[in-house]
Amino acid sequence: ATGKYSPGGQSKCMDCLAGEISGEGQSSCSTCAAGQFSSYPGSSTCSQCTAGQFGVAPAIVCTPCVEGKYSDDGASTCTECPGGTYSSSASSVCSVCASGQFSAGGESACSDCASGQYSLGSAISCTCCMAGTFSAQGSSSCESCPQGKFAENSCSDTCTSCPNGQFSTPGHVEC
């Protein structure tokens, strides 16, 4: 019978173990391939692990991918999410970081850019604002310093007011 085997010279069939299968008339059981599983003794077929999980032979169950990794159907391992993306556990895809955030890869969430920096979507790092501009934490762009203020250095999170008697036009690095 399927899912059973008969060791040489024996007349009684025995169930294959969970994680193994056999066809009719077999003298031994076969291990389910990586990315597949068989949960019950006496199984005749292996089932494929679903996306977001993986199976290492001989698998009785599939294991969910950890945060920061993903898998397709029938995977034997999970793959790390690339930079600019993230995933929760048991994910079949990685999600793209939003503008103002970044991820170096293999992350469970994206991080906000620091003040004085910005990013566009799917960034692996943030970029410093140029002198004469500034940004708040988690920004997707830098803003020019308003009239009467300046930012002398790059990566500024604020603009400094011009001293009395001096002025600047928007986006300047000095008064």
Instruction: Render pLDDT for 28-75 as a digit per residue (tens, 0 to 9).
Output: 889 999 999 999 998 889 999 999 999 998 899 999 999 999 999 999
> Residues 6 or more apart from 123 whose CB is under 8 A from it?
84, 97, 101, 102, 103, 113
Specify whether the CB–CB gap between 56 and 35 falls below 8 A: no
Q: For residue 118, name the pLDDT band (cuts at 50, 70, 90).
A: very high
Does residue 115 surpass a pLDDT of 70? Answer: yes
pLDDT of 110 > 90? The answer is: yes
**Which DSSP string do the residues of 66-112 spell out, in sequence order?**
PTTEE--TT-SS-EEPPTTEE--TTBSSPEEPPTTEE--SS-SS-EE
Q: State how far the Cα of 132 lies from the Cα of 121, in Å rounded to an integer.
A: 24
Distance between CA atoms of 39 and 174, rounded to whole angstroms? 71
Burial group, residue 165, by CB count within 10 angstroms (0-12, 13-18, 19+)? exposed
Task: State the CB neighbour count (10 A cutoff) for residue 168.
Answer: 21
Q: What is the pLDDT of residues 131-154, one digit of tens each?
A: 999 999 999 999 999 999 999 999
Work out the pLDDT band at 9, boundaries 50, 70, 90.
low
The structure tokens listed for 47 are 């089932």
- Helices assigned H by DSSP within 7-164: none
pLDDT in tens, 62-81: 999 999 999 999 999 999 99
Q: Phi, psi (5° rounding) for residue 124? A: -95, -15
